Structure 1
Amino acid sequence: MEVRIRNCNNIDEGVINIIPNKLNIKYAANGTGKSTVVRAIALSVRENLGGASSLNELTPFKCLNVQAGKPAVEGVEEVKNLRVFDESYINDFVFQPDELVKGSFDIFIRDKEYEAGMEEISVLTREVKGALVADPEILELISDLQELSSAFGKPVKNGFHASSNVAKAFKAGNKVASIPKGLEKYTPLIQHDQNYRWIKWQQDGKAFLDISTDCPYCTHSVKDTIETINLVSECYEPKSIESLSKTIAVFSRLDKYFSPAARQNIESFVKNIEGYTDAQAAYIREVWEQIGRLADRLVRAQNFGFSSFRNVERVIEELNNHKIDLELYVHLNSATTAEKIQVVNKGIDGLLERAGKLQGCVVKQKRLIEKLVKSNSSGINDFLRNAGYSYSVKLVEDGEIYRLKLMHNSVEGEVANVRSHLSYGERNAFSLVLFMYDCLKSEADLIVLDDPISSFDKNKKYAIVEALFRKEKNSFRDKTVLLLTHDFEPVVDMMLHHPDRFVRPAVFFLENQLGNLTEKAVERKDIQTFIEIAMVNAKKDCHEINRLVYLRRYYEVIANKQLSFDVLSSLFHKRQLPTKKGGDGEHVLLTDEELLEGTTHIQRFVDTFEYNRLVELVRNDARLKELYYASKNNYEKLHIYRMLFDDKSQGVESDVIRKFINEAFHIENNYIYQLSPSEYQLVPQYVIDECDLFVQGL
């Protein structure tokens, strides 16, 4: 995959290659544009997939008003699933309130094998569920049972709740079925299905009788019948009559589900004109309780599934528990109820015939979950232990799923408020490993890591590299990964120290020369100690001064403070005559014998070395400037720059750049192994650009 980037921040033009199914390491100095590469790829992929992100965010200042200078990225059109490890991933997905990473069950448990096992179990249980869900009469029965149960209102110790429909309908007796004496002529209206409306109409007109003894509707005198009219209002209340009508309708609809004895007792309860007794209330409560229990069993049977089989050794027992024994529901033991319950029990009996196979499926699924929990927890815990972190993780069962939790090693229990408990480095290290598992689950086709490990110490750094790239399973091994870094240690570990442990990565050095981003391959032979680098460069075909730069650094690395070092130090500090430090710290001239001894050793590497001739060269600014511009790499330029300004007060004004020139450019002292500065531009171009300004002004 060749990715071409144009007009993005500090990159005018750049090409990088990403080899599929391989770790691609892009090693570069800070300021090269590594993060710009990451953002350019991410924004381009999101744009290609129809996202809202825009490459215009990366437009350089110089291109803001230039149409032809708009940012562009080519070569990532085939990427459909990009994952980038960055600060937004840590903020949005890691260290959630109830789990370490969002969707940990999906990441660590719900894989293809898990889904296949669940489907196998689902097929075995689908028939009985289908029979229950598809039977309209059972659905109607459940609905009716639940409706009737709700008519009884909130549970109380005795009788019925005063606000329940049953209490309001029957507490004062059923005066609809048994018309009170004196109201017989109103029977058609009282027993009509809209009776409560007539009663309300009757009550609304009653207030007008206080004005006149004439009927408020027809103006005929009602003086002789006013007592009867008032009796209607005294005996009947619209809301109670409405509750009565609705409750009786439900009882009537459920009549076929009651046993003959229950049907008779319920009818007596319903038609009692004096109101129910305590004994009748206790009996109806028994019916109510059986209705509730049966409805609950039917609903449980409808929801039959794997969650019922937590204890796999009791599969058959659990299946039998779903069967309904109608003898336990004496008040509902009718032919119609028995017919419906038989549908449930027959379905479960059919499943029991295959219970052995089902039990095998459940056992297999349980073992798979246990294996996934163990392997995924072990992988993360191995990393934590190897990196020296005093924590472990555990996939904790939470209902029907699992959540990844962080645990104390020294104190039993879960770590609360993980985000604030862990240090910045711990959060980053942890997040990176969790990100790996997340990427593997999502089957990302390109994974990008922007300098994720350079801030860690050597041990933690290697632990992360091993967790991410070494293992054959549950790692980024053989995945397409782009790692941009200014840290050379992972390259050394994977290519030089442990090539037997890791699949060899594709390593390139990135250089940004005035906006032109290029890459150069790094092979195993290019990884050398600085002693080796100094020896090779001290003998290469270039100007003597440049060769002596490497030789002097060689003397420094091997701690050779002999006369040869004194001679070179005097040369680079432009001393007309070579000196050395005396016992009091003051410089004293070298004797002829000492100069000869030092010169002889130097000439073993640079055979043309002559102090008097070369000191005249370094004391001549014009010739040094020529050498500065003729030098082919930034490392050598930096040393010549130091010689140019060694005896001058002027020079770069920035303390940061000055510190880099005087101290930080000795980067070879920080690593045993590195790349040769004569072959790779290890000194950032922005430092040389700053130096150029002052060299030009001399």
Structure 2
Amino acid sequence: MADYQIKIENCNSIDCADIVIKKGSLNIKYGPNGLGKSTVAKAIVSQARNDGTLQDLAPFKGRGKVGSGQPKVGGIEGIASALVFDEEYVNQFAFRQDEVVKNSFDIFIKTPEYSSTMIEIEGLFAGIKKAFSDNAEIEQATKDLKELRDAFGKTNADGSIPKSSKLLKAYGSGNKIENIPEALKPFESFIKSPDPSKWIGWQIKGNEFLKLGDTCPYCSTVLPEGPQKDIPLAVAKEYDATAIGHLNTLKAVIERLGKYFSTKCQENLEKITKAKLELTAPEKSFLSGLKTDIEALIVKLEGLRTISFFSLRDVDEIGDKIQLLKIDLGMIDKLDSDETRNVTDPINAQLEELIKKVGALKGSINKHKAKIKKTIEDNQDSINNFLKSAGYKYSVIIIPEPDSYKMKLLHQDLTGHIDSASKHLSYGEKNAFALVLFMHQVLSENPDIIILDDPISSFDKNKKFAILHELFRGKASLRDRTTLMLTHDIEPAIDVIKSTAKVFQGSHPSATFLSSRNGLVTEVEIKSDDIHTFATICTEILSGHSDTLIKAIYLRRYYEITDNMSLEYNLLASLFKKRATPTIQSAAENRDMTAAEKAEAESDIKKRIPEFDYDSLLSEVSDDKVMKEKFFATEVGYEKIQLFRIIRGKHEDDIITKFINESYHIENEYVMQLNPHKFESVPEYVVGECTRLLNAA
């Protein structure tokens, strides 16, 4: 496969960047912060997705200027989709309350094979589904049946209907809409209106004003003395607005369902819903039986309407389960009518056809369950092995839900799963989870290119290796996928290219070093023999460099790295601090070096730097002009900042000062495992600031 020869132009601080990405391989691009690595990622993704965001990368220096170059990316033909892991991905990663990550089912279970098998299984239920879809009234009938069932309330322990139920509140004391008390006949048109509960509520609210005077609070006419004055109060005595509301609603529901009741049931309902007096025990018993029949039909209809792989997933004997779904109106005779049979007969007929195929159905479901079980176990094992190897106390478990599967988070010190992962995971833990789950998302979506923007630099060494191993060596890894890893941390390159190279051979890794000067980004391949301890690098430079003072800089670093705080080290330290009389400084003593000690130290240093002479070099380091000439003569950033430090250049920017100071000491030992003569690791802005200060001095 031909490699991608990518050219990025006019994007943020990058005027031009030429990089190579090997197809089907892990491409590590290592370089210092501030180089524009994130811009490289954004430019490639914007061009691949062709979503119009490439123009957002236009450099500020060219905006609004005629003829300024426009953002451009070439050489990515064949890349049409991309997934990016970066800080934004972690921040937007949705840790749900009821599962570790949003859409865990889609990421971990719903493979193309899963989907095709589901289509095959659901096809066996097509006849039943069609029987439902062909009857437009069945959905409304089921809804009405549920509303009527709910009106019965929760059945008492003895099977009776509770007095607090909507049904008994509406009809338990008789239907006073149909049977209006004689005293309230003048209000018949209001009581029998389409929504009498509103009028009754209004009437009752007005009663509190009767005590304020002898006039009607509704019409302001004088109320006569005697029984007639009590008529307004009679409405409140006879009627309850809420109960009448229930009655009106249930009346409409019963009327819509009428055709689904048997003839005898309709007669009994007519009698009950128009009764003048409180319902008798037999009438209440009839209603309890009606509720039982309604509930039975709802269960059957819902079971058939929702029949699927999930509803049969945990059933041992699928044939028996399907037989139980058959609707036998002889057993729920209160709903045995011609209209009901018009609904149930076609469904039962389709159910019979499904029963004939139960062998094939059972086989398909069991095979599908076995594949899902293996997928779950593989994913769980993969993630949990990573979590264990990285030292995390968490684990995950994928469990079945009514119509899905979800990944739950566990902790070794807690029984049961954690309800809200986002509240318990630290940023580093979220980052680790997000990265591993990102990998599974890649496997699910299969993009043309995967971009990892500084994915593991914030982790300690043990976790870095565990994550790299999971990403590129795990069972479900990114091997053989075109992957671009951008990082300011050299450890991934060291692990993948040198120290554990055999472990990662399957990902066909390559590593390059990115550097930037004046807007031009270039790369140099990092090979295994380019990666050394800094002690080795110092030795190489000592044998080949022409400038004695710069050799002395590397030798002092060599002594420091090898923990050799001898006379030689103290002599070099005194030289760089411009001491006419060298000193010995340690935890045990702080004094001037004797002439004999100075001679001994010089003699030992000359074994590595034959031309070394303390007094001669002291005159050089004390002469700022000479030191500036050395600064501008070298092209190596590491040497420039060491010379700047010897000159005792001061910088008002604490960040620049910190970088200069730390690069001199041992904190950045990993950064210095590439020879600075071949790989320019010092950021351009640091060298630029040092240059600016020396030019201004």
User: How far 1:110 sits from its partner (Å)?
Assistant: 1.1
Q: Which residue of 2 aligns with 1:515?
A: 519
In the alignment, which of 346, 350, 357 is matched to residue 353 of structure 2?
Answer: 350
8 Å CA contact 1:511–1:518 kept in 2: the answer is: yes
In the alignment, which of 545, 563, 574 is matched to residue 559 of structure 1?
Answer: 563
Report the CA distance shift for 1:651/1:274 in structure 2 as closer, same or farther (over 3 A): closer
CA distance in 2, matches of 1:55, 1:667: 42
The answer on 1:90 being equivalent to 2:85 is no
The answer on 1:363 being equivalent to 2:362 is no
CA distance in 2, matches of 1:639, 1:150: 83
In the alignment, which of 35, 38, 41 is matched to residue 35 of structure 1?
Answer: 38
State how many pairs are aligned: 618
CA distance in 2, matches of 1:519, 1:587: 48
Q: Which residue of 2 aligns with 1:68?
A: 67
8 Å CA contact 2:638–2:682 kept in 1: the answer is: yes
Q: Which residue of 2 aligns with 1:590?
A: 595
8 Å CA contact 1:11–1:517 kept in 2: the answer is: yes
Q: Which residue of 2 aligns with 1:499?
A: 501
Q: Which residue of 2 aligns with 1:223?
A: none
State the structure with more CA Rg.
1
The answer on 1:302 being equivalent to 2:305 is yes
Q: Deviations over 1:544-563 (max 9, x none)?
A: 33333323322322233445
CA distance in 2, matches of 1:438, 1:79: 18
Q: Deviations over 1:640-670 (max 9, x none)?
A: 3334x25xxx643444333332333435763
Q: Which residue of 2 aligns with 1:229?
A: none
User: How far 1:636 sits from its partner (Å)?
Assistant: 1.8
User: How far 1:480 sits from its partner (Å)?
Assistant: 2.1
Aligned-partner residue type, residue 517 of structure 2 = Q
Q: Which residue of 1 aligns with 2:628?
A: 625
Aligned-partner residue type, residue 82 of structure 2 = L
Aligned-partner residue type, residue 440 of structure 1 = L
8 Å CA contact 1:27–1:508 kept in 2: the answer is: yes
Matches within 5 A, 1:166-185: none
- In structure 1, stretches of 5+ residues that fail to align are 174-195, 198-238
Length-normalised TM-score, structure 1: 0.77
Secondary structure in 2 matching 1:312: coil
Q: Which residue of 2 aligns with 1:154?
A: 151
CA distance in 1, matches of 2:385, 2:253: 66
User: How far 1:382 sits from its partner (Å)?
Assistant: 1.4
Secondary structure in 2 matching 1:20: coil
Q: Deviations over 1:549-585 (max 9, x none)?
A: 3233223222334454455445545556766669852
CA distance in 1, matches of 2:128, 2:289: 30
Report the CA distance shift for 1:326/1:82 in structure 2 as closer, same or farther (over 3 A): same
8 Å CA contact 1:269–1:280 kept in 2: the answer is: no
CA distance in 2, matches of 1:77, 1:518: 21
Q: Which residue of 2 aligns with 1:676?
A: 675
User: How far 1:682 sits from its partner (Å)?
Assistant: 1.8
Matches within 5 A, 1:439-478: 439-471=442-474, 473-478=475-480
Length-normalised TM-score, structure 2: 0.77
Q: Deviations over 1:255-310 (max 9, x none)?
A: xx847x768x6699599999998456755764575355335423432332223213
CA distance in 2, matches of 1:84, 1:358: 41
Q: Which residue of 2 aligns with 1:538?
A: 542
8 Å CA contact 2:383–2:436 kept in 1: the answer is: yes
8 Å CA contact 1:153–1:161 kept in 2: the answer is: no
The answer on 1:393 being equivalent to 2:393 is no
CA distance in 2, matches of 1:244, 1:588: 106
Q: Deviations over 1:410-456 (max 9, x none)?
A: 12122243323222222222222222222222222222222222122
After alignment, is 387-396 or 660-669 more displaced? 660-669
Q: Which residue of 2 aligns with 1:659?
A: 658
Q: Deviations over 1:16-66 (max 9, x none)?
A: 2222222221111122222333344444555x135xx46335533x33332
Secondary structure in 2 matching 1:448: strand
In the alignment, which of 632, 639, 642 is matched to residue 642 of structure 2?
Answer: 639
Report the CA distance shift for 1:170/1:262 in structure 2 as closer, same or farther (over 3 A): farther
8 Å CA contact 1:312–1:359 kept in 2: the answer is: no
In the alignment, which of 429, 451, 456 is matched to residue 432 of structure 2?
Answer: 429
Report the CA distance shift for 1:586/1:318 in structure 2 as closer, same or farther (over 3 A): same
User: How far 1:147 sits from its partner (Å)?
Assistant: 5.4
Aligned-partner residue type, residue 478 of structure 2 = F
Q: Which residue of 1 aligns with 2:685?
A: 686
Report the CA distance shift for 1:161/1:670 in structure 2 as closer, same or farther (over 3 A): same
Report the CA distance shift for 1:319/1:127 in structure 2 as closer, same or farther (over 3 A): same
Q: Which residue of 1 aligns with 2:110?
A: 110
CA distance in 1, matches of 2:605, 2:251: 117
Report the CA distance shift for 1:674/1:298 in structure 2 as closer, same or farther (over 3 A): same
Report the CA distance shift for 1:58/1:389 in structure 2 as closer, same or farther (over 3 A): farther
8 Å CA contact 1:25–1:506 kept in 2: the answer is: yes
